[in-house]
Every structure is written in structure tokens, then in C-alpha cells.
Amino acid sequence: MIYIVIRKTLDWTDETTFQMQIPDQVRAGVNLWNATFNIPYHEFRAELKRIAQINLSKVRNATLAKHNEVPYGAVAVPVDDDDWLSPELAQTLDRNWEDRIGCYWPSRFLEVTISFPHQLGLVRKLLFPSTKPRWLCTTNNYAVVYSPETADLLKGHIRASHWFLANPNAIMRIEQPLSIMNRTLASITQLRSRPSRSALIRKYRRYGRLYTRASTPDLPWCKPYLDMMAELYARLRLR
């Protein structure tokens, strides 16, 4: 059995609770969002989570679990609460897993550029496909055999990347992409940069085009969730 472990998430359902939990470094971005759009930030994130939960419910032969619910020796896959996984994830891992502690596969992203350096990195990767990614492990493109030694690797991709690079004989790679990172306009990464209202509106318009035009031919299972995102963005209006 494969266990899907959702990293710690905020309570998006209640605004008062959310405001108490929100990290200080994104508070200004959240306030700007609420002053700019008709859907409050916490409600938008709750809808992102709902879409992701629909996706995760379609992953066959996998169980959603908290960190302390995963038995030692089982394979655990970490995700954030807005990310998507292939319905074939568990079957693919079962079929291909060798005698290793960790496994990773190619990362896929739905995103617009966060900054100019980020844009340069994407252009470099397009022009030079062999360019190595900054991180071997991203949000949801890896799995580990759960143990006291690997439990912390589920908490963050940077920590996991360092461990994977330091232990090459303990890991393996599957060439089939099994997940996609849905880095939305409401992602913490976007809001941490403290965009101006005009910059936020520009990204809002670019994201609207992204979800209506995105094509994922190697990930056909994404289509229903792309449609849900397009519908959600159609309801997101400027004040």
C-alpha cells in the first residue's frame, strides 16, 4: 500500500482561524488579495484544496494519511494540499520499485513565472533541456520508504533533495511523470514576494489564460482538474 501524506496545511474554512495561523511574511499579500478580488483568499485556497482532494481520491491503491499514521516500511509520497497526483501513481511505484529507500520522477508544473530570474531559468531549460534542475526533489515528485530516518524528508523538498544527492545508491528514478505541482496565483511563493496591485492583476490575467490554454499531452489525467481550475478562475473577479 502506498501512503499519500499531505504536509501541514492551514485551516482554510474559517477566516478567523486562518488569520491566526497565517505566516507573517505573507500577511500583506493576503490583505492585498482580499482588497483586489471578489473571492476571499481563504475561500479560494479552500477550493484549491477541494479540487486536489478530488484528484487524490482517484489515486488507486493509495491511502491518505498523516505522518504518524504511516507504518514503518511503507512507501510514503508527500504532497501539498493543492497538488495533483496521477491515478496510476501507486501502481507504477509498486511495479517499478527496486530495493531502494527513495524514488523520484520528472517534475511537472502549472505556473506562470514568479520573477525575472525564474523566467530566465525556464528559458534556459527550454533552450538547454539537459540543464539540471535546482532541486532534485520538488514538492510532490518523490517517495521514500518510511522510517525514523526518512520521516523528516516528507516535510520539505529541499531537505529531501540534499538527502537524495548525498545517498545516490539508495535512490532510483522513474522516467514517467506521476504528479503535477499546481503553483497558483494564491501560492505562498507568489504572495511572499509582496507584489503590487498592478503586478498581482497582471499575473491574475496570465493565470486566467494558463488554465484555459494549458496542454498536458503526457498527463491526460489532468484534464478534469484543469477544467475545474478554469471554472474557478472564471469566478475570480476584480473588485
Provide the 10 A C-beta neighbour count for residue 126. 9
Give yes or no for residue 8 having a pLDDT over 80: no
Give yes or no for residue 176 having a pLDDT over 90: yes
* pLDDT mean over 170-192: 92
The residue ranking higher by pLDDT, 70 or 23, is 70
- How many whole angstroms separate alpha carbon 194 and alpha carbon 174? 37
Which residues on adjacent β-strands are paired with residue 142?
Answer: 104
Q: Alpha-carbon dihedral of residues 136, 67, 219, 42, nearest 10 degrees?
A: -100
- How many whole angstroms separate alpha carbon 155 and alpha carbon 27? 23
CB-CB contact of 151 with 71 (8 Å): no
Q: What pLDDT shows up at residue 116?
A: 44
Q: What pLDDT shows up at residue 216?
A: 81
Give yes or no for residue 119 having a pLDDT over 80: no
CA 14 to chain centre: 22
- Residue type, position 84, single letter: W
Written as one string, the DSSP assignment of 2-47 is EEEEEPP----S-HHHHHHHS-HHHHHHHHHHHHHBSS-HHHHHHH
Q: What pLDDT shows up at residue 123?
A: 46
Mean pLDDT lowest for which of 102-106, 112-116, 146-150, 230-234?
Answer: 112-116
Q: What pLDDT shows up at residue 86?
A: 97
* pLDDT mean over 208-233: 89
209's enclosing H/E stretch is helix 197-213
136's enclosing H/E stretch is none
Q: What share of the chain is helix, strand, coil (3-state, %, to 5)?
A: 50, 15, 40
% of the chain with per-residue pLDDT over 70: 91
**pLDDT-based confidence at 111, cuts 50/70/90?**
confident
35-94 confidence digits (pLDDT tens): 999 999 999 999 999 999 999 999 999 999 998 899 999 999 999 999 999 999 999 999
Mean pLDDT for the chain overall: 89
Q: What pLDDT shows up at residue 124?
A: 52
Which sign, positive or negative, has the C-alpha torsion 153, 156, 158, 161?
Answer: positive
- The CA distances from residue 18 to 10, 43, 62, 233, in Å, are 7, 10, 29, 22
Write the CB contacts of 205 (distance below 8 Å, at least 6 apart in sequence): none
The residue ranking higher by pLDDT, 107 or 192, is 107
